[in-house]
């Protein structure tokens, strides 16, 4: 039986597309059964709908606006996901721009992985690619990369599943480097899912 994947996105969904392609080609013995977004205009939702995958739009802002708080958001998000995708095997954060806390993670122990565009111990949090490029321009680093790790409440700090080094080139623009990073991410996220499902 194919593994059941839930993919969380906040943006264009290119990593989601890499996962969908791998499932379609048979590289992954899996299917994406739900795509979750915190942004209504995320193009990843369009990609999901084109592939016939159910979607869930679940914004944080209403919870912030009425004082319910992040813990309640995470708990209710977990309940929605569990209801929409029972017996899921893996949750893949592929460009999801919120940190998930214990009320979510405790519902899915050892089943949530995250793609982050930096190497372990470097550039945790947002804008990692831009921050790495700035460090390269300052002569502080010669390479960066991306990783996929199991999610814990601390930001980008969980056990690493796979990583990929992406060296800088002397004539790199930010756009050049970003394009190579995204290409590495598309390969790495599929590799990480394979590793997670086989472990």
Q: Which residues does the annotation mark as catalytic?
A: 116
CA distance 54 to 168: 38
Distances from the Cα of 96 to the Cαs of 15, 35, 116, 152, 198, in angstroms? 11, 11, 10, 14, 24
Length of the chain: 199
CA angle at 39 for the pair 36 and 45, rounded to the nearest 5°: 50
CA distance 140 to 155: 23
């Amino acid at each position: 039986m194919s593994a059941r994947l839930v993919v969380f996105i906040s943006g264009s969904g290119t990593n989601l597309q890499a996962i969908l392609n791998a499932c379609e080609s048979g590289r992954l013995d899996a299917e994406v059964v739900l795509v979750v977004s915190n942004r209504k205009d995320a193009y990843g939702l369009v990609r999901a709908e084109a592939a016939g995958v159910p979607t869930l739009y679940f914004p944080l802002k209403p919870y912030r606006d009425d004082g319910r708080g992040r813990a309640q958001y995470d708990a209710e998000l977990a309940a929605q996901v569990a209801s929409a995708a029972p017996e899921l095997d893996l949750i893949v954060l592929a460009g999801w721009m919120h940190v998930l806390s214990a009320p979510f993670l405790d519902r899915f122990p050892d089943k949530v992985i995250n793609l982050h565009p930096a190497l372990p111990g470097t550039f945790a949090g947002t804008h990692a690619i831009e921050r790495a490029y700035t460090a390269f321009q300052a002569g502080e680093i010669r390479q960066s990369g991306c990783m996929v790790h199991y999610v814990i409440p601390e930001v980008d700090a969980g056990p690493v599943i796979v990583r990929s080094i992406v060296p800088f080139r002397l004539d790199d623009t930010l756009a050049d480097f970003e394009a190579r990073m995204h290409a590495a991410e598309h390969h790495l996220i599929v590799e990480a899912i394979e590793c997670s499902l086989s472990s």
